[in-house]
Amino acid sequence: MTDLLIKGALLVDGTGAPARTADVAVSAGRIEAVGDLGGQAAAQVVEAGGRMVCPGFVDVHSHSDLALISNPRAHSKIRQGVTTEVLGNCGLGVLPLEAGTDTAALRAAVAFIDVDPAVDWAWRDLAGYRAALTAAGPSVNTASLVGHLPLRAAAVGFADRPATTSERARMCELLAAALDDGAVGLSTGLIYAPASYADEAELVTLAGVVAAYGGVFAWHLRDYTDGLAESVRQAVRVAEASGCRTQISHLAAVGRRNWGGVARALRLIEAADADVRADVYPYLAGSANLSQLLPGWAHDGGEAAMRRRLRDPRVRGRIRAEWADRWWDWPDVFVDGSPLATDDDALDLVAEGGNAVAMVAFGRSEDDLLAALAHPATVIGSDGFALDPAGPTGRGTPHPRSYGCYPRLLRHHVGPGRLTLEQAVHKCTGAPAKLFGLAGRGSIRAGAAADLLLLDLEKIEDLSTFAHPHRYPAGIDLVVVNGAVVIDDGVHTGARPGRVLRSQTEVNP
């Protein structure tokens, strides 16, 4: 007997094809049949009543690397319809951890994603991390990128200098080992030390390894502000030199004086003689560690050295002088829900809390956002975390994208003059699954993995706000992962059927 039968749904299948009415049958974790299934019997029958059924959302830009071990039920992601997360973005990875690597220094460098300090980093490589994820048993599927920060920490350390030839070779060896273990690619964060100290030769060398494995190189660009265009040109140059498929992360033009920059960046992507894409989230504010606003030299030697420098009045004076022509205004920068007022406010916070101090920064253009969302080279990525408002990961005032990215897209960016429903769903499902080689995910067809959503389009709404972020959305009625019902009538069933995926894997890894 069929395990689950969804009847009379508005089917948006993830391919971009026109919506149609259909039934969907699920058996043994896979989609058994799609169409007019008549009186087919099933253990569980759900009458859709015209509600939309679509594939589960594939979040290509997640920072849940540690959050999922703390919160395997993945509350904030699964409740907004995410069934697969691509981890390890912005270079802020959690592996490899070679013998001799200063693990405490690395953990401090990626503190932005270290949302539960109780999580023990007991792994050394991707195989060990995959085992830790599997043991945690998350409700969502996961695929992993390799982070540039831990690669550089392992081979070079935290100094502000180019890598030597032998150090680049060691990074390539570590990267290849992770790709052999099933990583879907590499990510860099060229604003985050020590990856920010990499020169273009290092980036081309690493990209060549990724290209040999058919993976994706995801880029947190060196600059999203005054230097956005040149930063995109660098990503394009590396893609063209290496032949590596490239994904520019959270494309945006940051700072009011840079409004209009996204259109120019998209033209550079269109002109590239390489496969270059971008991800975007539907908000006019971003979030990252506050310390990224410091000049690069202030990070030399790691977080502890940075915090010591910020206690030196001469160093603070030098930073204030470099900030004189800054792209931001302090009232646009919030920490724990409150705006900053002065340079010294920011410097005091970073000196005390290091890279763990998170900011939410406003000051973006809606026209830029709409241009990015509409472009055929973009897909949707939340840039968020799998948070539990009742657990250790529920502290503070995070960006609402962790709870509401996908419902917000469907509520506010689908309609006349914006995306069609089919385009929006494709950007969240089929397109990202294809980009990262996640075979059997992202579409509704016979034989595919049964990652499914049942949504009420009249009620879909993101309820998470910047003032009150820990709120689940409305309108997500049913979430199915690998054939198991995880969200039923908006309630988490406790099921944790997620799988750790490999690039180009079949439905069952």
* In contact, 444 and 55? CB cutoff 8 Å: yes
Helix (H) / strand (E) containing 23: strand 20-27
DSSP state at residue 405:
H
Q: Could you tell me if 66 and 162 lie in one domain?
A: yes
Give the end-to-end CA distance of the chain in Å, rounded to a whole number: 25
Q: Could you tell me if 236 and 169 lie in one domain?
A: yes
Can you tell me the distance from the alpha carbon of 440 to that of 17, in angstroms, rounded to the nearest whole number? 17
* In contact, 491 and 437? CB cutoff 8 Å: no
Q: Could you tell me if 125 and 238 lie in one domain?
A: yes
Report if residue 495 sits inside a domain.
Answer: no
Question: 488 pairs with which residues across the strands?
Answer: 478, 491
DSSP state at residue 433:
H
Report if residue 485 sits inside a domain.
Answer: no
Q: Could you tell me if 208 and 76 lie in one domain?
A: yes
Find the length of the chain: 509
* pLDDT given at position 33: 97
Could you count the other beta carbons within 10 Å of the beta carbon of residue 266? 22
Beta strands in 110-269 (DSSP E): 141-147, 185-189, 216-220, 245-248
Phi/psi region, residue 222 (left: phi>0; alpha: psi -120 to 50; beta: rest), is: alpha
**Which segments of 278-365 does DSSP mark as H helices, in order?**
303-309, 313-322, 343-353
Torsion, Cα of 238, 287, 134, 407 (10° steps): -100
Q: What is the pLDDT along the chain (509 residues), one digit of tens a residue?
A: 899 999 999 999 999 999 999 999 999 999 999 999 988 899 999 999 999 999 999 999 999 999 999 999 999 999 999 999 999 999 999 999 988 888 889 999 999 999 999 999 989 999 999 999 999 999 999 999 999 999 999 999 999 999 999 999 999 999 999 999 999 999 999 999 999 999 999 999 999 999 999 999 999 999 999 999 999 999 999 999 999 999 999 999 999 999 999 999 999 999 999 999 999 999 999 999 999 999 999 999 999 999 999 999 999 999 999 999 999 999 999 999 999 999 999 999 999 999 999 999 999 999 999 999 999 999 999 999 999 999 999 999 999 999 999 999 999 999 999 999 999 999 999 999 999 999 899 999 999 999 999 999 999 999 999 999 999 999 999 999 999 999 999 999 999 999 999 876 443 33
**DSSP codes of every residue in 254-293:** -SGGGTTHHHHHHHHHHH-SS-EEEEE-S-S-EEEEGGGG
Beta strands in 375-456 (DSSP E): 378-380, 452-455
Phi first, then psi: give them for residue 391, nearest 5 degrees.
Answer: -120, -170
Domain CATH number, residue 201: 3.20.20.140
Report if residue 10 sits inside a domain.
Answer: no
* In contact, 321 and 347? CB cutoff 8 Å: no
Number of domains in the chain: 2
Q: Write the single-letter amino acid at 251.
A: L
- Omega cis (within 30) before 194: yes
Domain end point (choices 361, 378, 413): 361
Q: Could you tell me if 199 and 97 lie in one domain?
A: yes
Q: Could you tell me if 328 and 354 lie in one domain?
A: yes
Report if residue 120 sits inside a domain.
Answer: yes
* In contact, 319 and 294? CB cutoff 8 Å: yes
Q: Could you tell me if 335 and 383 lie in one domain?
A: no
* pLDDT given at position 456: 98
Containing structural domain, residue 221: 57-285+363-441
Domain end point (choices 306, 341, 361): 361
Can you tell me the distance from the alpha carbon of 315 to that of 313, in angstroms, rounded to the nearest whole number? 5
Q: Could you tell me if 260 and 367 lie in one domain?
A: yes
Report if residue 343 sits inside a domain.
Answer: yes
Q: Residue 274 has which token pair? A: 């390489």
Q: Could you tell me if 192 and 340 lie in one domain?
A: no
Report if residue 301 sits inside a domain.
Answer: yes
Q: Could you tell me if 395 and 426 lie in one domain?
A: yes
Domain end point (choices 441, 461, 492): 441
* In contact, 105 and 56? CB cutoff 8 Å: no
Report if residue 508 sits inside a domain.
Answer: no
Report if residue 425 sits inside a domain.
Answer: yes
Question: 34 pairs with which residues across the strands?
Answer: 24
* In contact, 440 and 448? CB cutoff 8 Å: yes
Q: Could you tell me if 265 and 329 lie in one domain?
A: no
Contacts of 173 by beta carbon, 8 Å cutoff, 6+ apart: none
pTM of the model: 0.96
Can you tell me the distance from the alpha carbon of 276 to that of 299, in angstroms, rounded to the nearest whole number? 30
Q: Could you tell me if 100 and 125 lie in one domain?
A: yes
